[in-house]
Structures are given as structure tokens and as C-alpha cells.
Amino acid sequence: MSGEANSESHSESHSESFWEQVKTVAIAVLIALTIRAFVVEPFRIPSGSMLPTLLIGDHLFVNKFVYGPKVPFTDMRLPGLREPERGDIIVFTVARDGNETFPADRHPELRREEYVKRIVGLPGDRVEVRDGSVWVNGELLDVEPLPETFRDGSGRVLNVEQVDLGDKTYRILDDPNRDTPAKRPVTTVEPGRYLVLGDNRDYSADSRIWGTVRKAEIKGPAFILYWSWDFNGGWFELLDPRTWWNADKRWDRIGAGLD
């Protein structure tokens, strides 16, 4: 009898241990999902539209708490620390149909994709794009050419310029051999929406082409790089150990803050 009792006791102990581990894993997953939904979310840079600020292969965190985290499956947001500001680098959702991009709220039937750009126009602003220059409410953005160039992945040599927004400065790129006319040369930003541009001005599909972004589609501002390497392949390549060994790591960018 005692042997049977010990066996049953051992079985019950093993079962309790198993369910304790399951509960621990479930709690850990729940905490991770909560953090991703309401606090921070990772994002990978797949294109050069934000050069020279963000490089292809940069991995960054988005702060979802600053503007107020979005309630899942709704357009509602919880109270945030501040409103989006001019110059913020934001990650947001757009609608995609082949090579065409649209504001996500205006084509809810299309598949979703995440973009990263910089806010230039706030609600109520009148933004004009003339010959590559940007005017906001009748004032030309202060842009100063810098004595340096930037060579992109296609070998193009681009001029580097600095934009001064008063309390924030950042660099943009200009291709002197390319003129990119805006499909929307003049835009009055509607309430609750934002006009965004890529820092790589001549090679960015942004609000000049497809329109403005509703606040409900903004995930939050990008605030820090947690990883960076010269790799932009798919999951199959990522699972290959040779990828991790051969891809150039940009150690100097890891941990860098974003303006």
C-alpha cells in the first residue's frame, strides 16, 4: 500500500510541477504581449527612405506610451504624455495594394504595412512643396547644406543637408540629379492627421504622394536602436548561422538614441 501511495504522491507532484511551469510560461507571454501592446514594440528598417538617419538593417524600439497606447482592436487611445510633434520619427500603419500606398483609414479593405517617416506637418498646418523645398504655414523650413556627401546602397552620391526646427535638428539627403515632383504640392493637414516625409527626400514614398496619417494609425515615436547590421533578407536566410557570421554588424549604432 505504501508503495502505491508513494507512486500516487510522486505522480501528483510531477503533475503540479508541470502545471506550475505552464502557468509561469503563460504569465511571461502575457507580460511580453502587454509590454508590446502598451509600452514598446520593435521595428526593422527595410528600406532607405529614412537615410541618413536610419540605415537598412537598423532595428529600433517604438515608444507606444508617449502618445498614449492604442486600445487593441479599436481606434481609441489611452492618455499619453504628449501629442506628436514636428520632427518626431514615427512608425505607423498604411494600406497597401501592390505598389500603391494609401492612408490606412481610407482603405480598410486593403492589407496593412508599417512605415517609418518624420512628422513635418501638424493638424491645421498648410504645407507646400516647391522644387524640393518645404514651406510650413508660409515659412520655408531652415535647411543648410553641409560639406559632406552620402553614398547609398545603389552607389548614388547624395548631398547632405541639415534641417533646423529650432529645438530639433536633423540631416536629410538631396539628389542634385533628381527632381521628384509632389503629387500633392499643397496640403492643408486635417484635424487629427499628420503630414510625414522621409529624410531621404528624393527616394521616399510619403505624404507628398499618398496623403496624411491619422493619429489612430501612429504606433508611436522611434526612440532607440537596439540592433543594426547590413542585412535585409528573409526568415530563411536569418535561420542560417552563416548570415549571423557574415553580415556586417554596426556596433557603433547599437544603443543610439533617435531625434
76: how many CB neighbours lie within 10 A of its CB? 11
Would you call 117 a catalytic residue per the annotation?
yes
In a 3-state reduction of DSSP, which class is residue 132?
coil
Residue spans of the domains in the chain: they are: 1-38, 40-124+189-253
CB 63 within 8 A of CB 42: no
Strand pairing report for 193-197 and 186-188: unpaired
Q: Which residues contact 250 (CB under 8 A, 6 or more apart)?
A: 55, 57, 58, 228, 229, 230
Straight-line distance from the first to the last Cα atom of the chain, in angstroms, rounded to the nearest whole number: 72
If you search the block for the grid coordinates 499619453, which residue do you land on? 80
| Among the four given CATH numbers 2.10.109.10, 1.25.60.10, 2.40.50.100, 3.60.40.10, the one describing domain 40-124+189-253 | 2.10.109.10
Quick check: is 17 catalytic? no
Beta strand 126-130 with 193-197 is unpaired
Helix or strand run (H / E) with residue 241: helix 241-246
Q: Which of 70, 117, 215, 219 is catalytic?
A: 117
Residues 106, 74: contact at Cβ < 8 Å? no
Q: What is the pLDDT along the chain (259 residues), one digit of tens a residue?
A: 555 555 555 555 656 676 776 666 676 666 555 555 567 899 999 999 999 999 999 999 999 999 998 887 788 888 999 999 999 999 999 999 999 999 999 999 999 999 999 999 999 999 999 888 999 999 999 999 999 999 999 999 999 999 998 889 999 999 998 877 788 899 999 999 999 999 999 999 999 999 999 999 999 999 999 999 998 888 788 788 888 888 899 999 999 999 7
Whether 127 contacts 134, CB under 8 Å: yes
Q: Per the structure block, which three cell numbers stand in for 253?
A: 549604432
